Amino acid sequence: MPRPIEALIHPDALTHNLARARECALGARVWAVVKANAYGHGIERVFDALRAADGFALLDLAEAERVRALGWRGPVLLLEGCFEPRDLELCSRLNLWHTVHRDAQIDWLAAHKTQQAHRVFLKLNSGMNRLGFTPDVFRAAWTRLNALPQVDEISLMTHFSDADGAGGVQAQVAAFERVVDGLPGERTLANSAALLRHAAATAADWVRPGIMVYGGAPDHPGHNAAHWQLRPTMTLRSQLIAVQQLNVGDTVGYGSTFVADRPLRIGVVACGYADGYPRHAASGTPVLVDGVRTQTVGRVSMDMITVDLTPVPRAAAGSDVTLWGRGPHGALLPIDEVAHAAGTVGYELMCALAARVPVHVA
Ligand SMILES: Cc1ncc(COP(=O)(O)O)c(C=O)c1O
């Protein structure tokens, strides 16, 4: 008998969330961002549900090959472009559109022998200081690219650092508009947070939603997924494998960090950090037992966590436990809440789902 833990992927929610992205996109075409193996969901598992996307954006070349192997003939964009010159051969063979964010990538293109001219997305560093040409050299890069026979169409791209928070997008949008003014080509600016919070200010030809497609609120805890009408696309569920009765003063787990201040029934769940549950989730992290909301007590260990059974007195070994996602009887536990209790973001929990957890498409 395998451990009772499993993850479920919900295609109906993926399709719904993608439709939400399209609603927000003001007519722009929508890349479904499927990097990091579709934010931990599995590219092959999400593909059918996301077929209504206009393109798939990712960054591993092997993942681009997987999208093509699924039969997708539409646009595929490499968000970080090529990592070495021979990547261009794959771009030619699989007709991948690719980001150009530094000079070496232009050098490689200039030396690339191809019958098929490439579509590239020239990236402006409008303030995030991660990838892209700074405003002072952006136009020179555009001119170089435009002179290459290897390049067909040049699109223009930037990425926001603060679309989810108080910083907003205004300064970066202004920088982008200033630099690309008068240049031909399609534009793409918005990630999920920009789409949900600044759709009009970031309107362009393409949008690039990631986390919202997977039901995460990019600006949690300011807003939650329900506020943005997003549905969870991943459930992590398990069962109780033991129950303990604690007396006042009894402790739980490694380091004895939790001390019972009253008689307490606790359940032991077959899920730990080796499954991708965050070790830094403090006592008090929400969890559902038989669809009833309760909380963790004590430290997360490799294979187990412990939970307070006070609100679910009938829970016993074998009871259903929802770590995040959809619980029984319509109960929901947003992944963002669990992430928040662990000092991280839903993105990280999705991506960190461990290989040992069996995943099923619901
Ligand atoms: C260039 C780019 N575009 C879009 C996205 C999608 O972002 P989000 O998941 O916040 O929507 C990312 C993710 O980091 C990215 O790097």
Task: Walk along the chain (362 residues) and give the pLDDT tens digit of each residue.
Answer: 789 999 999 999 999 999 999 999 999 999 999 999 999 999 999 999 999 999 999 999 999 999 999 999 999 999 999 999 999 999 999 999 999 999 999 999 999 999 899 999 999 999 999 999 999 999 999 999 999 999 999 999 999 999 999 999 999 999 999 999 999 999 999 999 999 999 999 999 999 999 999 999 999 999 999 999 999 999 999 999 999 999 999 999 999 999 999 999 999 999 999 999 999 999 999 999 999 999 999 999 999 999 999 999 999 999 999 999 999 999 999 999 999 999 999 999 999 999 999 999 99
Q: 210 vs 178, 218, 357, CA distance in Å?
A: 27, 9, 23
330's tokens: 């319509």
Q: Is the CB of 79 under 6 A from ligand 1?
A: yes
pLDDT in tens, 197-249: 999 999 999 999 999 999 999 999 999 999 999 999 999 999 999 999 999 99
pLDDT, position 144:
98
pTM over 0.95: yes
H helices of 41-134, in order, are 43-46, 61-69, 87-94, 103-111
Query: What pLDDT score was predicted for residue 63?
Result: 98
Q: Which residues are catalytic?
A: 35, 254
Ligand 1: nearest atom to the Cα of 218: 10
Residue 302 gets the label, from left (phi > 0), alpha (psi -120 to 50) or beta, of alpha
Cα–Cα distance measured from residue 221 to residue 343, given in angstroms and rounded to the nearest whole number: 11
Residue 232, token pair as written in the block: 């969870």
224 residue type, one letter = N
Q: Which pLDDT score, from 0 to 100, does residue 2 have?
A: 83
User: Measured from the CB, is residue 208 less than 6 Å from ligand 1?
Assistant: yes
Q: Give the separation between CA 145 and CA 154, rounded to whole angstroms.
A: 8
Determine whether the shortest distance from the Cβ of 220 to ligand 1 is under 6 A: no
Any ligand 1 atom below 6 A from CB of 210? yes
pLDDT in tens, 30-55: 999 999 999 999 999 999 999 999 99
Around Cβ 34, how many Cβ atoms within 10 Å?
28
Percent of the chain clearing pLDDT 90 (strictly above) = 99
Q: Which two tokens stand for residue 154?
A: 């040049």
Which residues does 174 contact at the CB level (< 8 Å), separation at least 6?
none
Residue 209 CA, ligand 1 centroid: distance in Å = 6
Distance CA 288, CA 321 (A): 6
Query: Residue 217: its pLDDT value, please?
Result: 98
Protein residue with least CA distance to atom 16, ligand 1? 79
Q: What are the b/e assignments for 194-210, b being 16+ CB within 10 Å? A: bbbbbbebbbbebbbbb
What is the best residue among 208, 219, 350 to mutate for testing ligand 1's pocket, by most ligand atoms within 8 Å of CB? 208
Measuring CA to CA, which residue among 254, 242, 333 is closest to residue 297? 254
- Kindly report the average pLDDT of the chain as a whole number: 98
**Closest atom, ligand 1, to C-alpha of 347:** 9
Q: What is the pLDDT of residue 353?
A: 98
Number of other residues whose CB lies within 10 A of the CB of residue 330? 7
CA distances from 174 to 135, 165, 180, 182, 202 (A): 11, 17, 10, 14, 10
Element (H, E) at 120: strand 118-123
pLDDT in tens, 286-306: 999 999 999 999 999 999 999
Query: In 3-state terms, what secondary structure has residue 289?
Result: strand
Residues in the chain: 362
217 lines ligand 1 (CB under 6 A): no
**CA-angle at 200, arms to 194 and 206, nearest 5°:** 65
201 and 170 Cβ atoms separated by less than 8 Å: yes
